[in-house]
Structure 1
Amino acid sequence: MVLSEVAVASRRPPEALLPQAQAIGPKVVPKTLQEAVKADVIFLAVLFEGHREVAKTLSSWQSKTVVDAMNGFEGLSTSDVAKAFPGARFVKGFNHLPARTLAADPNVKGSRRVVFLTSDDEAAAARVAALAEQLGFAPVHLGKLEEGGTLVQVRDKSWAPLIFQDLFKNEPARPASVAAAS
């Protein structure tokens, strides 16, 4: 998977997102939510209660990989959230660090910032891991949602053990062609 463009969407019109998108980089393009969900991989980074509204955008999420980057306080797990997105391949990830940290350079002093991934779908987890590698992160797969999800997910207003842990893997970033092939 080669990252050619990143669409961002919100409840606001695309032109309202333009200054933030341009500040991030030329490959970030503001779009409507209806346009953004046409992507193959969708990062769900909304206020937790907003996920149900996003889910209504499509009647079927078949062939979509949805990365649950939310932290909810309703006692729901990613498995529960996945039920709102029929047919989607779900991966929990990129939720344990604040957005500002994720937006920073993932390469720090020769090490790569770790992002945790957990999924019941090995192929979806591998796809998101390859994307994380392409972005310069060091993905760490924590296993299935039932196992790994409890390590990176807020539940019942308590913080999981890996939330806000800014960890690094002491290895240089791999070239994109190697990362995609692994």
Structure 2
Amino acid sequence: MRTGIIGTGRIGSTLARILVAAGHEVVLANARGPQSIGPLLAELGPAASAAHPAGAAERADLLVLMLPHASVRGLLPPDSLRDRVLVDATNAFGGPGTPADLGGRTSSELVAEWYPGARVVKSLNTMHYETLAVAGTAQGERLAHFTAGDDGKAKEIVAGIITDLGFAAVDTGPLHSGGILQQPGGPLFNRPLTEAQALAWISH
């Protein structure tokens, strides 16, 4: 599966590295253009390529948004992601460390509204990039990555990638209620949990 990643900051670059290490192909994009991704491409080798955001969306089997939430709206043509699996790994902040007030909605619900027909899954947003870089290869029990969404098959696809990376996929439920748990201010945000700890928390 070819994964598109829009956003090549610390977290997006880290995801690209561990995907390539796990045998996946990646297409990378950012707001600055493909030429800015040259050093990362050189590091990742032939499994990685670069494109503009629209090109990454077109070429990828699954697209991950790893950029500021405020940059997502209008980034791509609204209908360009219809029937595509779209992982919303963005986090909405209103200020440094302060969750944005989204009027009771989740960031992923807004993404789903901006890109109608996309199969949106909230995932890969709760873990610090330094933990993401090493935890999947660490000894001992796997750490959990969470999935929330209204499309069961899309969540299964994302869970498969999470497993490939050496983590445990834990379903937090629908896009609204599960997304609330995962986003900034929620109880699962930036809280590394083992699979057993995460399952115990979800079931309590």
TM-score, with structure 1 as normaliser? 0.81
The residue type paired with residue 12 of structure 1 is: R
1:165 aligns with 2:195: no
Q: Which runs of 5 or more residues in structure 1 are unaligned?
A: 171-182
Conservation of the 8 A alpha-carbon contact between 1:60 and 1:87: no
TM-score, with structure 2 as normaliser? 0.73
**Displacement of 1:74:** 4.3
Aligned alpha-carbon RMSD (Å): 2.0
3-state secondary structure, aligned to 2:63: strand
Size of the alignment, in residue pairs? 165
CA distance in 1, matches of 2:165, 2:89: 16
**Displacement of 1:105:** 4.4
Any residues of structure 2 matched to 1:33-182 within 5 Å, and which?
Answer: 33-38=53-58, 39-56=60-77, 59-72=79-92, 73-75=100-102, 76-77=105-106, 78-154=108-184, 159-169=185-195
Deviations 1:131-176 (A, max 9, x none): 111122111011112221111012xxxx111111112237xxxxxx
3-state secondary structure, aligned to 1:108: coil
Conservation of the 8 A alpha-carbon contact between 2:53 and 2:76: no
Query: What is the aligned-residue identity percentage?
Result: 32
**Displacement of 1:55:** 3.4
Q: Which runs of 5 or more residues in structure 2 are unaligned?
A: 3-22, 93-99, 197-204
3-state secondary structure, aligned to 2:27: strand
Moved over 3 A (4+): 1-4, 21-26
Conservation of the 8 A alpha-carbon contact between 1:107 and 1:113: no
Deviations 1:59-83 (A, max 9, x none): 3322211001011124141112210
The structure with the greater share of residues assigned to helix is 2
